[in-house]
Amino acid sequence: MSPVNDGFSVEIQDKVKVDCEACGDAGRDVVEESVGAGSADSVGRAETLAGGFESTISLTLTAFDTRHYQDLIRTRAATIRRVVRALKPALGLHNALDAGCGVGFFSQTLTELGLETRGFDGRLENVVEARKRFPKVAFESGDIESAEITALGAFDLVLCFGLLYHLESPMRAIRHLRALTGKGLVIESMCVPGDEVRMMLRDEPFQNDQSLTDMAFYPSESCVVKMLYRAGFHHVYRLTRLPEHDDFRATSDHERRRTISFASDRPVAVACLERVAEPRGGRDPWTKLGPEPETLVARVRRFLSKPGRMRYVALANRVRRVVPSMPLPLRLPFRAWWLAEHSALDRELIHDGFETAEAEFVARFLRPGMTVLDVGAHHGLYTLLASRLVGRNGRVIAFEPSPRERRRLERHLWVNRCGNVDVQSCALGECAGEANLYLVEGMHDWCNSLRVPHIEERTSKVRVEVRRLDDVLEGFNWPRIDFIKVDVEGGELSFLHGARRMLGGEVRPAILVEVQDIRTVPWGYSAREIVRCLANEGYGWFALADDGSLESISSELSSYDGNFVALPCERFGEFCEMGLGLSKPPVETFQDSRGTVRACRENEFVGG
């Protein structure tokens, strides 16, 4: 099957700018390999220089460019790299097919792994967008449920991610995938919980990332395995380590949602795969069976099989059923004690941890004797961390205007004997005075704000004092500030405007700040203005890697979503000597034959 002539082409205009970011290792080659985008008008723009004039490639923002999808894409791409690197020498892989390629992220990943790659998708608009983003990969329209797709021929490796559970006829699709597979098939799917071989028929919402029809069959993991065997594969494997994402593991809120399998005609001996047999038999579905009560021994075994922390949480929760107001003492990773109650932050700390990359960076940066400002201290997570790191000779000034949150903050400081922390009850902003602070009454009390928060839970108001940071520091006789954490739910720009004198000082601090449009919309400005405000003050911007190291990003992106680090450019050499793991100088740019593009974070895919 040759690529479909769909009548679409990449539009070249006279003057256009590319401010975007690539997926995977292509982010290092920027526009040469791929371009991603995101902006308020759903169009990304790319800047190239060729033949002495500027030209434009317009890229459509898709559902796959949202933060939710990018997190999932990033973790799945890491698994693809790990598995393909193991399979490539074992099977002698040279080419690959990406079935249901979407806008081409994983096709590009396969290309970066040295495989000659083609991709197809059932949505023509995805094919058009993929060709724009990754022009070196051949993309075409195709329906995996149609027998015509097998005319593409056989490929050493076939990759099928995020497709199977959107189909009306998944077994037919797997037979077609078998016909396209030369040496191996890597297939990912959402899976119905349970060990039985079964499928569940679900309504599909009419969305660009869902089925082409209004219903689809969702298989169980055992069903996927059985279909692979019945399609003609002789060996089926499961991955020994699935992607690091909540969809691939059971949490306190949901069962595991996704699985990845590998199928081949030949046995494969690689460490990342574990062979699974074809499921057999199963009980007669028409036979009535009474419920079997779980024995005490089984309950004890189930309890003992949990990790030690979860056993402790389970016992504590039983006590809390009798005494609901009792806090749950938790030992945080940096050895401080936390008294968990019923907030969203407490839930995160109990089960999964919270902002671990940010905490890793703070631990890398802070030194004994430093002075830290925690602006929007909430219940004191960062205050406790900073207090431990700066030591007795250091100082932490925590700002928390909510009386309710301040009570929990002070309780945590008392429990941990933090004698180096000053708690300030004012909010910080551009203009001194009084203002309403809106308190969220539900579990998401970390969304308290001086503007009505963009949240469904009920809020109440309390009057609080607002001060300028410059005025506060003057009252402290202008101490040297080494580090500031700012999380004031959209009030970040107002905070910065009230700190002009500090930002113009001789020794300027590093700043960890939340930059999210959903927080700044109630304040009437775009989150990118926070970035540009500090860029105009001579700060360079960095995104956080999982290990707390920093990756430079452009200050000219159209949108940002997350926590970012701003460093004063004149101290960049000093920060490098501190071992912060900086990837590039904040002002460094990439040069290639197609123009100049600012460095962007891998898989960030924000801006345009």
Q: Are residues 365 and 302 in the same domain?
A: no
| Higher-pLDDT residue of 220, 17 | 220
Encoded amino acid at 352, one letter: D
Q: Are residues 343 and 369 in the same domain?
A: yes
Q: Are residues 314 and 392 in the same domain?
A: no
The whole-number pLDDT of residue 347 equals 84
The residue-averaged pLDDT of 8-31 equals 36
**Would you say residue 134 has pLDDT above 90?**
yes
The residue-averaged pLDDT of 37-60 equals 39
Q: Are residues 354 and 466 in the same domain?
A: yes
Residue 415 lies in a domain: yes
Token code pair at residue 170? 């998944």
| Higher-pLDDT residue of 568, 3 | 568
Q: Are residues 339 and 317 in the same domain?
A: no
The residue-averaged pLDDT of 331-336 equals 91
The residue-averaged pLDDT of 346-361 equals 85
The whole-number pLDDT of residue 64 equals 62
Question: pLDDT digit string (tens) for 499-525?
Answer: 999 999 999 999 999 998 889 999 999
| Higher-pLDDT residue of 196, 376 | 376
**Would you say residue 45 has pLDDT above 60?**
no
Q: Residue 63 — pLDDT band, cuts 50, 70, 90?
A: low
CB 600 within 8 A of CB 607: yes
Q: Are residues 162 and 184 in the same domain?
A: yes
**Would you say residue 234 has pLDDT above 80?**
yes
| Higher-pLDDT residue of 408, 67 | 408
The whole-number pLDDT of residue 189 equals 92
Q: Residue 46 — pLDDT band, cuts 50, 70, 90?
A: very low
Question: What are the distances in angstroms from CA 92 to CA 78, 97, 184, 293, 489?
Answer: 21, 15, 11, 52, 52
Token code pair at residue 481? 């500030």
Q: Residue 536 — pLDDT band, cuts 50, 70, 90?
A: very high
Residue 288 lies in a domain: no
Phi and psi angles of residue 76, each rounded to the nearest 5 degrees, phi first? -70, -40
**Would you say residue 304 has pLDDT above 90?**
no
| Higher-pLDDT residue of 11, 216 | 216
357 CB burial (10 A radius; 0-12, 13-18, 19+): middle
**Would you say residue 70 has pLDDT above 90?**
no
Question: pLDDT digit string (tens) for 400-458?
Answer: 999 999 999 999 999 999 999 999 999 999 999 999 999 999 888 989 999 998 887 88
- Quote the number of domains for the chain: 3
Burial letters 126-137, b for 16+ CB under 10 A, else e? bbbbbbbbbbeb
Encoded amino acid at 2, one letter: S
| Higher-pLDDT residue of 544, 312 | 544
Residue 556 lies in a domain: no
The whole-number pLDDT of residue 286 equals 79
Q: Are residues 319 and 379 in the same domain?
A: no
Q: Residue 205 — pLDDT band, cuts 50, 70, 90?
A: low
Cα–Cα dist 326/316, whole Å = 9
The residue-averaged pLDDT of 99-110 equals 94
Give the pairing of strands 395-399 and 421-424: parallel
CA 278, 284, 286 angle in degrees (round to 5)?
145
Residue 383 lies in a domain: yes
The whole-number pLDDT of residue 29 equals 38
**Would you say residue 306 has pLDDT above 60?**
yes
**Would you say residue 241 has pLDDT above 50?**
yes
Instruction: Find which of 26-30, 326-330, 592-596 is predicted with most confidence, using mean pLDDT.
Output: 326-330
Cα–Cα dist 375/401, whole Å = 10
| Higher-pLDDT residue of 1, 108 | 108
Cα–Cα dist 48/89, whole Å = 37
Q: Are residues 239 and 309 in the same domain?
A: no
Residue 421 lies in a domain: yes
The whole-number pLDDT of residue 37 equals 33
Residue 155 lies in a domain: yes
Domain that holds residue 439: 330-525
Q: Which CATH number does the domain housing residue 465 bear?
A: 3.40.50.150
Longest dimension (CA), the chain: 81
Locate tokens 């992220």: which residue? 105
**Would you say residue 50 has pLDDT above 50?**
no
Residue 17 lies in a domain: no
| Higher-pLDDT residue of 288, 359 | 359
Cα–Cα dist 48/43, whole Å = 16
The whole-number pLDDT of residue 282 equals 67
The residue-averaged pLDDT of 263-273 equals 92
Locate tokens 């009850």: which residue? 425
The residue-averaged pLDDT of 227-237 equals 94
- Report the share of the chain in percent with pLDDT over 90: 55
Please write down the long-range contacts of 311-318, taking CB distance under 8 Å and 24 or more positions apart: 313/350
- Which residues is 592 bridged to in the sheet? 595
Q: Are residues 178 and 307 in the same domain?
A: no
Residue 606 lies in a domain: no
Torsional sign, CA 99, 104, 110, 116: positive
Q: Are residues 396 and 303 in the same domain?
A: no
Q: Are residues 157 and 203 in the same domain?
A: yes
Q: Are residues 307 and 334 in the same domain?
A: no
Encoded amino acid at 201, one letter: L
**Would you say residue 531 has pLDDT above 60?**
yes
Domain stop point among 507, 525, 543: 525
